[in-house]
């Protein structure tokens, strides 16, 4: 059974990779760009949708300012990219925002950033996969109504690919990401040419009117209108998600790591800004309408269109308009857009495990997240991320409009604290740097990070004000819970270290017990018992005795007769058990030894069967398991399990064992 499971694992994940092959998993820029930038690049697939959707609440005229909102988002994105280029040079170890905040602002700030990033990575997977499922349902009508199931299946597939290793997943995903860039570039270029030549058709929704929601009858005028513009800006800032992933993934780049990461950041920012502005400008040129509730908000001749109308995403409407008459190009755009939304989650699958490994090394997460799997990927981190994302997709029914409200809060918390940390970093470095050119470079970097701090802090306030009641409070609550959990894990590890540390009087030979009292548990006189007795005698304890529990008088009499006949040089003690219990009499006897001689060490040898099938475990070792579980909590007691391999266990380890079941010679 285990051989079959191992073969299936190797088929899915591939052969194990040696630790000395880690250098071969490092990424060149052409692979690192699709691996780490797919999240930010994919934001253009839903950030414009969210801007138009929010502005549409104020009616048709409000949509005219969408390009200006896009420009504001682009300015923030440009500033953040410039700021993070300083981060990757100053902190290339892969800790990213967590390391910057921890070093410059203290451990609590670092854990705050880490909790925000972990939550944001989970939301990245949930939002991207859910959005990809909706695009897939647009292209494949059979998927409509099954988006949640399809999205969960995509997460599982993405998990399996990432378990094969970072480089393998990056190579597999590079082509779709570059196809998406080409598709968006084609829409922008062809759309611009057709616009300036007067041949650009109107979008499918261009002829509709947009009904304003109650409270926005005056459009964008007044306090409510200004608040709506800020909310649209906050929704559009979803385009900034994924920028921080590169600073967390610097160790995955080929050398020179910092320079390659900074170059990738610049490419990412330039491409993302060009895409989001192109989409918003073309959406205005073609008259795209995108609303929250198309059945009631979209009007045809002043009458709501009703449930019969199916609203398509903004990019789908643009592709149908720009490539009108060439249906195959529309299908290609829909497919690659859906793919990039799925692959955007791959950024989180690279960032979350690395950050989790660093946090585990620092004692803020379980240590299992620190180790790499047999494919040199952080397998436990990948599985943890997948489980959390699947739970979120299922809970929110794969609805992007519901999930997006939870989004970007965490990433702007990390942005703001990271920029504040970098300002302190450069200020501290300037105090000790005597060289004029280096000081000038540091001052320039501090100015960039200061501007970044001002912008990201402003956006964070706007996001909190505009999105808190729309679901952002859930993300904030999740961050608080993760923060408390990580502090609890850290405190637990601290207590354990303090408890296990050697005291001054426990050094060297003084830590040895006064005597060793060995107890061999006996149920029958058979080969496992003989092996346990042999191992106990080989350890040369001060006191050695065999102990059995007298549940049945006839069995005890038969065992005594066998014992005497075998002439064993070990005394047999029978513990009385009037209520036919096994565990309690043994525990009582062992504790009595401890009370009589507190400085003695008691070693309890328990013969156990090693079986080859799961159902055999139900038929054996139950008493041994109960005894071990209770004895482990008894101070001054060591439990020694003496295995006896049954025939069914042969071959389970994959190693030949020619002396299986043999009692050591000489006993």
> Minimal CA–CA distance to 168: which of 322, 35, 340?
35
Q: Domains in the chain, please, with CATH? A: 32-493 (1.20.1740.10), 512-649 (3.40.50)
CB 143 within 8 A of CB 122: no
**Peptide bond connecting 441 to the previous residue in cis, omega within 30 degrees of 0:** no
pLDDT of residue 16: 54
Question: What are the beta bridge partners of residue 520?
Answer: 546, 605
Q: In terms of C-beta distances under 8 Å and separation of at least 24 residues, what long-range contacts does 653-662 make, across chains too?
A: 654/3, 661/527
Residue ranges for the chain with pLDDT beneath 70: 1-25, 60-62, 94-95, 135, 138-139, 165-173, 215-222, 224, 373-377, 400-402, 404-405, 407, 502-512, 620-621, 651-667
DSSP calls for 326-381: -HHHHHHHHHHHHHHHHHHHHHHHHHHHHHHHHHHHTTSS-GGGTS--TTSS-HHH
Alpha-carbon Rg for the chain, nearest whole angstrom, is 33
DSSP calls for 274-326: HHHHHHHHHHHHHT----S-HHHHEEETTEE--TT--PPPHHHHHHHHHTTT-
pLDDT of residue 663: 43
Rounded to 5 degrees, φ, ψ at 324 are: -60, 135
pLDDT of residue 639: 92
pLDDT of residue 465: 81
Cα–Cα dist 19/16, whole Å: 9
User: How many CB atoms sit inside 10 A of residue 63's CB?
Assistant: 22
pLDDT of residue 506: 54
Contacts of 615 (CB under 8 A, 6+ apart): none
pLDDT of residue 666: 37
pLDDT of residue 667: 37
Strand order across the 543-550 sheet:
572-576, 543-550, 516-521, 601-610, 637-645
Cα–Cα dist 55/70, whole Å: 12
CB 377 within 8 A of CB 65: no
DSSP type of residue 251: G
Rounded to 5 degrees, φ, ψ at 230 are: -60, -40
pLDDT of residue 537: 92
pLDDT of residue 231: 80
Question: What are the beta bridge partners of residue 575?
Answer: 549
CB 74 within 8 A of CB 304: no
pLDDT of residue 491: 93
CB 465 within 8 A of CB 478: no
Cα–Cα dist 304/50, whole Å: 21
- Please give the span between the terminal C-alpha atoms of the chain, in angstroms, as a whole number: 36
pLDDT of residue 543: 92
Cα–Cα dist 162/380, whole Å: 11
Cα–Cα dist 512/466, whole Å: 65
- Claim: this prediction has a pTM higher than 0.75: no
The secondary element (H helix, E strand) that includes residue 601 is strand 601-610
pLDDT of residue 662: 44
């Amino acid at each position: 059974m285990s051989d079959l499971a191992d073969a299936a694992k190797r088929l899915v994940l591939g052969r194990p990779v040696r630790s000395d092959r880690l250098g071969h998993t490092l990424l060149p820029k052409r692979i690192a760009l699709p691996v780490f930038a797919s999240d930010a690049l994919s934001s253009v697939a839903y950030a414009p949708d969210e801007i138009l959707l929010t502005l549409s609440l104020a009616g048709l005229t409000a949509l005219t300012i969408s390009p200006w909102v896009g420009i504001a988002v682009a300015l923030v994105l440009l500033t953040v990219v410039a700021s993070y280029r300083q981060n990757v040079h100053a902190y290339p170890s892969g800790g990213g925002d967590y390391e910057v905040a921890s070093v410059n602002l203290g451990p609590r700030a670092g854990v705050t950033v880490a909790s925000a990033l972990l939550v944001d990575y989970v939301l990245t997977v949930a939002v991207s996969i859910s959005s990809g499922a909706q695009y897939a349902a647009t292209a494949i009508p059979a998927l409509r109504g099954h988006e949640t199931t399809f999205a969960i299946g995509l997460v599982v597939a993405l998990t399996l690919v990432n378990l094969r290793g970072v480089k393998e997943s990056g190579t597999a995903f590079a082509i779709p990401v570059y196809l998406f860039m080409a598709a968006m570039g084609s829409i922008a270029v062809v759309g611009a040419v057709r616009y300036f030549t007067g041949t650009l058709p109107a979008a499918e929704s261009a002829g509709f009117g947009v009904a304003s929601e109650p409270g926005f009858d005056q459009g964008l005028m007044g306090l409510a209108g200004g608040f709506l513009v800020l909310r649209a800006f906050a929704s559009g800032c979803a385009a900034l998600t994924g920028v921080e992933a590169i600073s967390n993934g610097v160790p995955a780049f080929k050398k020179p790591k910092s320079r390659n990461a900074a170059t990738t950041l610049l490419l990412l920012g330039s491409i993302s800004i060009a895409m989001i502005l192109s989409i918003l400008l073309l959406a205005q040129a073609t008259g795209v309408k995108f609303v929250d509730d198309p059945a009631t908000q979209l009007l045809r001749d002043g009458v709501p269109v009703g449930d019969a109308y199916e609203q398509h995403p903004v990019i789908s409407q643009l592709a149908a308009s720009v490539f009108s008459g060439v249906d195959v190009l529309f299908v290609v755009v829909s497919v690659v857009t859906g793919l990039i939304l799925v692959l955007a989650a791959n950024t989180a699958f690279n960032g979350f495990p690395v950050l989790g490994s660093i946090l585990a090394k620092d004692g803020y997460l379980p240590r299992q997240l620190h180790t790499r799997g047999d494919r040199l990927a952080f397998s436990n981190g990948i599985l943890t991320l997948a489980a959390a994302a699947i739970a979120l997709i299922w809970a929110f029914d794969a609805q992007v409009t519901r999930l997006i409200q939870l989004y970007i809060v965490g990433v702007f918390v990390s942005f703001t604290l990271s920029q504040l940390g970098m300002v302190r970093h450069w200020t501290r470095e300037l105090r000790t740097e005597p060289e004029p050119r280096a000081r000038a470079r540091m001052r320039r970097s501090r100015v960039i990070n200061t501007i970044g701090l001002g912008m990201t802090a402003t956006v964070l306030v706007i996001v909190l004000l505009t999105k808190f009641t729309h679901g952002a409070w859930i993300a904030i609550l999740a961050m608080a819970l993760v923060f408390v959990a990580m502090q609890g894990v850290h405190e637990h590890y601290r207590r354990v270290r303090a408890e296990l540390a050697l005291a001054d009087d426990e050094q060297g030979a003084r830590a040895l017990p006064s005597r060793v009292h060995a107890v061999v548990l006996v149920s029958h006189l058979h080969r496992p018992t003989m092996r346990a007795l042999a191992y106990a005698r080989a350890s040369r304890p001060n006191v050695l005795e065999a102990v059995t529990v007298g549940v049945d008088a006839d069995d005890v009499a038969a065992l005594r007769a066998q014992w005497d006949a075998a002439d064993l040089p070990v005394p047999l003690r029978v513990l009385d058990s009037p209520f036919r219990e096994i565990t309690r009499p043994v525990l009582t006897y062992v504790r009595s030894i401890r009370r009589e001689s507190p400085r003695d060490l008691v070693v309890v040898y328990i013969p156990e069967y090693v079986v080859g099938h799961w159902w055999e475990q139900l038929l054996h070792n139950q008493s041994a398991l109960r005894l071990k579980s209770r004895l482990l909590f008894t101070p001054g007691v060591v439990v020694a399990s003496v295995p006896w391999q049954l025939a069914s266990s042969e071959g389970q380890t994959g190693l030949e064992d020619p002396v299986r079941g043999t009692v050591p010679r000489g006993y």
